[in-house]
Amino acid sequence: MKIRILVPISTLFFLALSTGVFSQNGAGDFGFDMPDVRMHLLFLSSDELRGRKTGELGNQVAAKYISEQFRRIGLQTADSLGSYYQDIDFKKVKPPSDGTFQTDFGTYKVGEDIIVLDDYASESENQLVFANYAWQGDPKINLSDLEVEGKWVLAHLGTPEDQDFQNALFNYSREKRKIVKDAGAKGLIEIYQGRIPWQFLARFLSREQLSIADAGEDESDFLYALIDGSSHEELQTIEAAMNSDAELIHSGRSEIKLSSSNIVGILPGTDARLRDEYIVLSAHYDHVGAEVQQGNPRTLQDSIFNGARDNAFGVTAMLTTAQSLAKRPLRRSVVFVAFTAEEDGLLGSEYFVNHPVVPLDKIIFNLNTDGAGYNDTSIVSVFGLERLGIEEQIRDACSSVGLGVFGDPAPDQNLFDRSDNVSFAKVGIPAPTISPGFKEFDEAIMEHYHQPSDEAATLDFDYLLRFSRAYSLIARSIGNSAKRPRWTPGDKYESAFKELYGDLPEVIEEEIPKKKGKKKKKKKKKSTT
Ligand SMILES: [Zn+2]
């Protein structure tokens, strides 16, 4: 006789725990307590780690600490890595500061009028072709109608629909370079005419900047530059398909290579039907270093950016959650990952998503934790709270440790798209960030945000413990639930979700029957403070 047990006893136990049926949430339930959070936080934010700047010794020591915690907890390594380390090669480039860019219509000074962001030749000549926006659906020019093979393409920054310089630089530019490259061109020069003064942008772009060193990139001879169209009228009125001779000579470029690592550990799930699905629990461990911040030396009293809140706090929540979940694993498998290079532009998470250790379409959820700090220890803040169909699960988990929930502080800052969760969201994976409690950027946040005073001595450890427990309970709840998180209809990441997973049923198995005698009332939707 074949007996099919639909709901194992252990599942009911996990469900009971995850929905806060246990009234007493002592260390026994969680598997970690104050000494654990103190140990992680005090080590990771110590002066000896000197701000954990990507590629520096303190960053590597933090990585070693996290990997040894994974080993102690008993997490597995990913098959494709063979260790807890996902190594990443980076390059730190300072653009050329001197030189000239000569065309038939004008001469421009390198470092002032034109910022050369990518170029491996210090002296080159080519034909220049103007292609309006060099974008699909451009009303003036179809790129494929132009002779761009082997030439440099000149184009307006952005797209015909969107010229916002942040979108243009951080979202469209990379895609545009690919479009132009695929058309056979040897370079792209984008014309800037945005609302931010050019001098300000030029200074920002001229600083030393970290990026991922893609394999084979060194052999590339593709030029990428940004030119000031705001004070050069000839660049605003340039005619479609214009051709010109061009010569670029520059000097003062520097490039150094360095390496750092994401730290990755895996906890297999317990349910035969669900263990092929993964939730990713993540927190970045890098910070901004010591001594110098944006070119300014710090005071003699303190020059180390300890990053206790940002983000030793989140790594502590992730490590204690690993400890908790390893003692009573979830139905789904869990990937724990500590990202590097978040402060340099979310590079560690970008690399992780481009080089996933488990198939991306098997990752059903990412719960990232990161934050600028906190000014309200009665709540947690969740970027994306109302966008994923899991608000009630999050509220229930937090209320069992006495915390309220606040969704999306400072909506004008678009915080959802400014932490590592967005690397997952971009490919469609439901991915909120849970942050220590705050409702807006005020003086209390700015006092410690990216300051040397963001250190253990100014931290509320009771809150850190509760936050870590809330984080573990949310993970437990989603990792055990029959229902998968999904974007609300019309969300900007919904189409990526459909592309990644195809058509998913709302609930992917029989709904687990509610435990008899469950007394909990449906929670109010408003945030509690
Ligand atoms: Zn951070």
Check which CATH number belongs to the domain holding 279 and give it: 3.40.630.10
Q: What per-residue string of b and e applies to 346-356 under the rule 16 or more CB within 10 Å gives b?
A: bbbbbbbbeeb
Give the distance (Å) from ligand 1 centre to CA of residue 279.
21
- Is there a domain that residue 517 lies in? no
Question: Do residues 217 and 292 share a domain?
Answer: no
- Is there a domain that residue 511 lies in? no
- Residue 344's pLDDT is 93
- Is there a domain that residue 528 lies in? no
- Residue 1's pLDDT is 35
* Predicted structure pTM score: 0.82
- Contact yes or no for 262/337 (Cβ under 8 A): yes
Q: How confident is the model at residue 148 (pLDDT cuts 50, 70, 90)?
A: very high
- Contact yes or no for 171/425 (Cβ under 8 A): no
Tell me which residues have their CB within 5 A of the ion that is ligand 1.
310-311, 370
- Is there a domain that residue 366 lies in? yes
Question: Do residues 122 and 104 share a domain?
Answer: yes
Comparing 262 with 9, the larger pLDDT belongs to 262
Q: How confident is the model at residue 518 (pLDDT cuts 50, 70, 90)?
A: very low
- Is there a domain that residue 285 lies in? yes
- Is there a domain that residue 429 lies in? yes
- Contact yes or no for 115/252 (Cβ under 8 A): no
Give the distance (Å) from ligand 1 centre to CA of residue 340.
10
Give the distance (Å) from ligand 1 centre to CA of residue 435.
9
Give the distance (Å) from ligand 1 centre to CA of residue 414.
15
Question: Do residues 244 and 119 share a domain?
Answer: yes
Question: Do residues 74 and 142 share a domain?
Answer: no
Q: How far is CA 355 from CA 81, 161, 194, 349, 351, in A?
A: 11, 32, 34, 10, 6
Give the distance (Å) from ligand 1 centre to CA of residue 371.
5
Give the separation between CA 22 and CA 12, rounded to whole angstroms: 12
Give the distance (Å) from ligand 1 centre to CA of residue 346.
9
Structure tokens at 490: 């019309």
Whether the upstream peptide bond of residue 311 has omega within 30° of 0, thus cis, is yes
Give the separation between CA 303 and CA 297, rounded to whole angstroms: 8
Exposed / middle / buried, residue 370 (Cβ in 10 Å: 0-12, 13-18, 19+):
buried
Question: Do residues 81 and 230 share a domain?
Answer: no
What HEC string does 430-482 produce?
CCCEEEECCCCCCHHHHCCCCCCCCCHHHCCHHHHHHHHHHHHHHHHHHHHCC
- Is there a domain that residue 35 lies in? yes
Give the distance (Å) from ligand 1 centre to CA of residue 156.
33
Q: Which residues pair with 60 in a beta bridge?
A: none
Torsion of CA 429, 77, 344, 49, to 10 degrees: 140
Give the separation between CA 175 and CA 158, rounded to whole angstroms: 11
Question: Do residues 189 and 42 share a domain?
Answer: no
Residue ranges making up the domain that contains 274: 9-89+261-501
Question: Do residues 74 and 104 share a domain?
Answer: no
Please check the confidence at residue 314 and state whether its pLDDT lies above 60.
yes
Question: Do residues 79 and 157 share a domain?
Answer: no
- Contact yes or no for 138/163 (Cβ under 8 A): no
Place of tokens 């809140």: 309
Give the distance (Å) from ligand 1 centre to CA of residue 9.
39
Question: Do residues 39 and 156 share a domain?
Answer: no
Give the separation between CA 12 and CA 515, rounded to whole angstroms: 7
- Contact yes or no for 107/256 (Cβ under 8 A): no
**Range with top average pLDDT, 120-134, 138-152, 266-280:** 266-280
Give the distance (Å) from ligand 1 centre to CA of residue 295.
20
Give the distance (Å) from ligand 1 centre to CA of residue 449.
9
Interval 383-407 mean pLDDT: 96
- Residue 30's pLDDT is 95
Give the distance (Å) from ligand 1 centre to CA of residue 272.
36
Give the distance (Å) from ligand 1 centre to CA of residue 343.
7
What HEC string does 335-362 produce?
EEEEECCCCCCCHHHHHHHHCCCCCHHH
- Residue 343's pLDDT is 94
Q: How confident is the model at residue 527 (pLDDT cuts 50, 70, 90)?
A: very low
The last residue of one of the domains, among 190, 222, 252, is 252
Give the distance (Å) from ligand 1 centre to CA of residue 368.
10
Give the distance (Å) from ligand 1 centre to CA of residue 337.
14
DSSP state of 492: T
Interval 42-54 mean pLDDT: 97
Give the distance (Å) from ligand 1 centre to CA of residue 312.
9
Give the distance (Å) from ligand 1 centre to CA of residue 452.
14
Structure tokens at 466: 């509760």
- Is there a domain that residue 361 lies in? yes
Q: Work out the angle between the directed axes of helices 461-480 and 313-327 (0-180°, nearest 10).
A: 50
Question: Do residues 57 and 162 share a domain?
Answer: no
The last residue of one of the domains, among 201, 230, 252, is 252
Give the separation between CA 26 and CA 242, rounded to whole angstroms: 72
Phi and psi at residue 394, to the nearest 5°: -65, -45
Structure tokens at 87: 């190594």
Q: How confident is the model at residue 139 (pLDDT cuts 50, 70, 90)?
A: confident
Give the separation between CA 389 and CA 373, rounded to whole angstroms: 26
Structure tokens at 261: 């690592």
DSSP state of 110: B
Question: Do residues 337 and 211 share a domain?
Answer: no
Number of domains, the chain: 2
Q: What is the pLDDT of residues 248-261, one digit of tens each?
A: 999 999 999 999 99
Question: Do residues 148 and 78 share a domain?
Answer: no
The last residue of one of the domains, among 198, 217, 252, is 252
Give the distance (Å) from ligand 1 centre to CA of residue 378.
21
- CATH, residue 179: 3.50.30.30
- Residue 456's pLDDT is 95
Q: What is the pLDDT of residues 74-102, one digit of tens each?
A: 999 999 999 999 999 999 999 999 999 99
